[in-house]
Amino acid sequence: MICVSIHDVSFELAAQYAREYPFVEFRLETLPVSIEEAGLLFSIAKRSVATCRPLGTEPQRRIQMLEAGLKNGADFVDIEIDAKDQLLEKMGDRVHETGSKLIVSYHNFERTPEEGILVEVYETACKYKADIVKIACSVHCHEDNLRLLSLCLRYPSLLVIGMGPVGRISRLFAPFLGSPFTFACPDDQPESAPGQLPYSKMKNLQKELQEYFYVRT
């Protein structure tokens, strides 16, 4: 499954993408929309992730934006693991009350830590009642990719992402190893994170992998 990350576009274009793609993430901290317009976007989307990072966004507005998603059908809410405990716990309870799922995410934009640290991240995220744990790390070599991908085989509901050009292979292969989904950018927009591929290219590559490497029984 591929989730198209929508960021830094107008309300009209975000709505167009919500209609066009089967699964989208709204990066609410980058979208120039009101709380009411955010709600409309989620009501349009077939399947969606609500994300609102703290970058230049007041804490109360973050909560309001995420609430707009929950009230209008967001399937997932993504909150970073280093958010204040109160926010993560409060929103986590709210997410589960609505029947949506909580993604607790960890980002390391410098490197891919050793396995022990990544395991600690996973276990900490689970303590916050995460339905999905997302680990996104900057990848500098294929050993980093292997470290991330091997975790998919060990832990359920773990979404791993290798950021940067070398990490693209992890974005492609992770869903085949148990990762719930992966991210792509709209076909006519730049990436919202280092190493993202356009939706159509990712979809075609995954289709080819299924045809060539999966044996049907």
Could you read off the pLDDT of 38-66 as tens digits, one per residue? 999 999 999 999 999 988 778 889 999 99
Identify the DSSP state of 113. Answer: -
Residue 87 or residue 126, greater confidence = 126
pLDDT of residue 213: 65
Residue 217 or residue 133, greater confidence = 133
Q: Which helix (H) or strand (E) holds 60?
A: helix 59-71
In angstroms, the CA 67 to CA 62 distance is 8
At 160, the amino acid letter reads V
Q: Which helix (H) or strand (E) holds 105?
A: strand 101-108
Q: Report whether pLDDT(130) > 60.
A: yes
Q: What phi and psi, each to the nearest 5 degrees, are found at residue 55?
A: -60, 100
- Among 116, 136, 147, residue whose Cα is nearest residue 196: 136
Q: Report whether pLDDT(166) > 90.
A: yes
Residue 193 sits in a domain whose CATH number is 3.20.20.70
Q: pTM score, two decimals?
A: 0.93
- Render pLDDT for 93-124 as a digit per residue (tens, 0 to 9): 899 999 999 999 999 999 999 999 999 999 99
- Render pLDDT for 203-214 as a digit per residue (tens, 0 to 9): 999 998 888 766
Q: Which helix (H) or strand (E) holds 97?
A: helix 85-98
- Render pLDDT for 71-95 as a digit per residue (tens, 0 to 9): 999 999 999 998 876 788 888 889 9
Count up the domains in the chain and report the number.
1
Q: Which residues are designated catalytic?
A: 107, 134
At 195, the amino acid letter reads G
SS3 at position 136: strand
pLDDT of residue 217: 37
SS3 at position 154: helix
Q: Domain range for residue 89? A: 2-213
pLDDT of residue 89: 82
